[in-house]
A and B are shown apart, each in its own frame.
Chain A
Amino acid sequence: KQEVTQIPAALSVPEGENLVLNCSFTDSAIYNLQWFRQDPGKGLTSLLLIQSSQREQTSGRLNASLDKSSGRSTLYIAASQPGDSATYLCAVNPPGNQFYFGTGTSLTVIP
């Protein structure tokens, strides 16, 4: 059964720093991987989706990488801002199935 782990569970950085969030999964037979953001009391917002054949995806200050063979993905956030404070969730999608979610990394960017 697929298990998704995110490290660290919580991260606090000063504004302007670059940072990396990590995600690992146990079964490399995935269709795609997606990074989500969750704000307190809100639903999830999709940030980036990486197909299994891709190595990375970029959107603005966000860059997500995927190494399927080693079961790892990273989310890189450049020049962090207080508005980036949220919980970031990694989710893997086995072929034809639903997403398995990690437990998230709670990010706080200090002004």
Chain B
Amino acid sequence: DTAVSQTPKYLVTQMGNDKSIKCEQNLGHDTMYWYKQDSKKFLKIMFSYNNKELIINETVPNRFSPKSPDKAHLNLHINSLELGDSAVYFCASSQSRGGYGYTFGSGTRLTVV
């Protein structure tokens, strides 16, 4: 029943490892996003896909690579993890680029040690 689901909910890993976070939405939305929320609770866009096409790619290290196999899925792969990557990563989706029906997942708390 979950509208936007992310896995895993928690991820603890060592520096230098590669990890992936998966996101799926069952709302039929066209647009999906990845946001990063830092320790100060500031939420910032990382990527946005519309119908599997990348439309927003903010200044994010190229160690972060999103992949959208279909419009219901947007996964985030992170190479060579660094301490500064520790944050909560939120996936979201909306009906269109205009933000209608904006729905967030519950977040993935990534801790790099």
Given known A42-B107, A43-B90, A99-B45, contact A34–B56 (CB-CB < 8 A)? no
Would you call B97 and A96 a contact (CB within 8 A)? yes
Given known A42-B107, A98-B56, contact A34–B42 (CB-CB < 8 A)? no
Query: Of B12-20, B65-73, B74-82, B98-106, which binds chain A?
Result: B98-106
The residue of chain B having its C-beta at the shortest distance from the C-beta of A31 within the complex is B98
Instruction: Kindly state the interface size class of chain B when it binds its partner.
Output: 20 to 34
Q: Does A45 contact B (CB under 8 A)?
A: yes
Residues of chain B lying within 8 A (CB to CB) of residue A41: 107
Interface of A is mostly: strand
Q: Does B43 contact A (CB under 8 A)?
A: yes
Residues of chain B lying within 8 A (CB to CB) of residue A98: 33, 45, 48, 56
Residues of chain A lying within 8 A (CB to CB) of residue B103: 46
Residues of chain A lying within 8 A (CB to CB) of residue B107: 41-43
Please give the residue numbers on chain B whose beta carbons come within 8 Å of chain A beta carbons, in ascending order: 4, 33, 40-45, 48, 56, 90, 92, 97-107
